[in-house]
Homo-oligomer: A and B are copies of this chain.
Amino acid sequence: MTKTAAGNFFEDFRLGQVLEHATPRTVTEGDQALYLALTGSRFALQSSDEFARALGLRRAPIDDLLAFHVVFGKTVPDISLNAVANLGYAAGVFRTLLYPGDTVTARSEVIGLKENANRQTGIVYVRSTGLNQRGETVVEYVRWVMVKKRNPEAEVPPPHVPSLPEAVEPDALVVPDGIRFDRFDRKLSGSPYAYDDYEIGERIDHRDGMTLEEAEHAMATRLYQNTARVHFDAWEQRESRFGRRLVYGGHVISLARALSFNGLGNAVKVAAINGGRHAAPFFAGDTLYAWSEIIGKAPAGNDVGALRLRTIATKDRPCADFPREDPAVVLELDYWVLVPR
């Protein structure tokens, strides 16, 4: 019998099942530098130890989305190696900050299962949790994914679709312990705008474009130890629907987040992911643009507030006119960010 892992198929999952994912990962300054080189992120909190110390932290934390991708990557061999499509995210909350030197592990609980009518595939809902070496939760989120059945005839449990919040409640957002947003320097951060300067309904064109190369997304995705073959194996992908490698959707999220600096420079921390949809595939050679709308606001302390954003990213199409129903849209992301007041 082969020792090569083939991943789980739909009929292998059970409601309530907990999967402890492999490959603990110490995240370092090296990862942070690569993340910056691959995305162009410029948020001051993650860029400067001194800036972070001025706010009361011990040093610059790891970028929230880098932490997310490392956790996500660990779940792939168990959850989505046989996935047809990544369908959605919900209830993503960033808790304890991750610092260089911390080690991430991850586990997932199966919280929903629903076979598709054609019996070829089914939808698996998991709540995944990334932990640091002290067992503190760094990030947790729900994801659902369409997974192939090994055997279409296999019997599966009755359908169970979990009830998921439309968005994370403002009360559930976590402001890192001991952080002092009143000491936030808006000269150094690169943006003069504070929480009160943003209004619900406001739309911001992030304007800059970023063209992606095969080497870039492949390096990022390997950095996250994400093993989904569609990102790496161009030979196999020749026979696929698109005829080429797909870019990991999470890297598109990171690029959109980095572009959002232009207009949202003080949104230094992602607090939650309410939902996300990859509307179309993104490929090497494509240029990403993005715009955001403020769709919610909530104070998160005396000196900090949360903005709920809908960021829409397009390919090969600037966003000056805020496109939403448009074939160029590749990503729609609904999330909370923290901004000093």
Please, how many angstroms separate the alpha-carbon atoms of A207 and B6 in the complex?
Answer: 9
Contacts A4-B206, A5-B262, A206-B4 known; A225 to B36 CB distance under 8 Å? yes
A23: chain B residues at CB < 8 Å are: 42, 44, 47-48, 188-190
* Residue interface bits A157-177, CB-to-B below 8 A is 1, else 0: 000000000000000000000
Write out, one digit per residue, whether chain A residues 250-273 have a CB within 8 A of any chain B CB (1) or not (0).
Answer: 000000000000111100000000
- Counting CB contacts under 8 A, is A235 at the interface? yes
- Kindly identify which residue among B22, B187, B205 contacts A187, using a CB–CB cutoff of 8 Å: B22
Q: Which of B42, B77, B204, B235 contacts A3 (CB 8 A)?
A: B204
Chain A interface residue count, Cβ-Cβ cutoff 8 angstroms: 79
A285 to B188, CA, bound (A): 37
- What are the interface flags for A34-63 relative to B under an 8 Å C-beta threshold, 1 for contact and 0 otherwise? 101111101010011111000000011000
Chain B residues, Cβ within 8 Å of A34:
30, 33-34, 37
Chain B residues whose CB sits within 8 angstroms of the CB of A211 once the complex forms? 214, 218, 232-235, 245
Flag whether A183 is at the interface (Cβ < 8 A): no
Q: Judging by beta carbons under 8 Å apart, are A218 and B216 in contact?
A: yes
Cross-chain contact A210 with B187 (CB below 8 angstroms):
no
Contact A24 B2 (CB under 8 A): no
Contact of A47 among B26, B190, B206, B265 (CB under 8 A): B26
A116 at the interface (CB under 8 A from B): no
A316 and B235 contact, CB distance less than 8 A: yes
Q: Pick the residue among B30, B198, B210, B236 that contacts A29 (CB under 8 A).
A: B30
CA distance A206 to B232 in the complex (A): 14
Tallying the copies of this chain within the complex gives 3
- Determine the chain B residues whose CB is within 8 A of the CB of A36 once the complex forms: 222-223, 225
A214 to B217, CA, bound (A): 13
A213 at the interface (CB under 8 A from B): yes
Beyond A31-B33, A133-B50, A216-B219, whether A233 also contacts B287 by CB under 8 A is yes
Which residues of chain B have C-beta atoms less than 8 A from A47's C-beta?
23-26, 225
Contact B189 A4 (CB under 8 A): no
By a beta-carbon cutoff of 8 Å, the part of chain A in contact with chain B is 2-5, 20, 22-26, 28-34, 36-40, 42, 44, 47-51, 59-60, 77, 100-101, 103, 105, 133, 187-191, 193, 197-198, 204-211, 213-216, 218-220, 222-223, 225, 227, 229, 232-236, 245, 262-265, 285, 287, 316, 318
**What are some 10 contacts across the A-B interface (CB < 8 A)?**
A2-B204, A2-B263, A23-B42, A24-B51, A24-B188, A28-B33, A42-B227, A208-B227, A211-B235, A236-B318
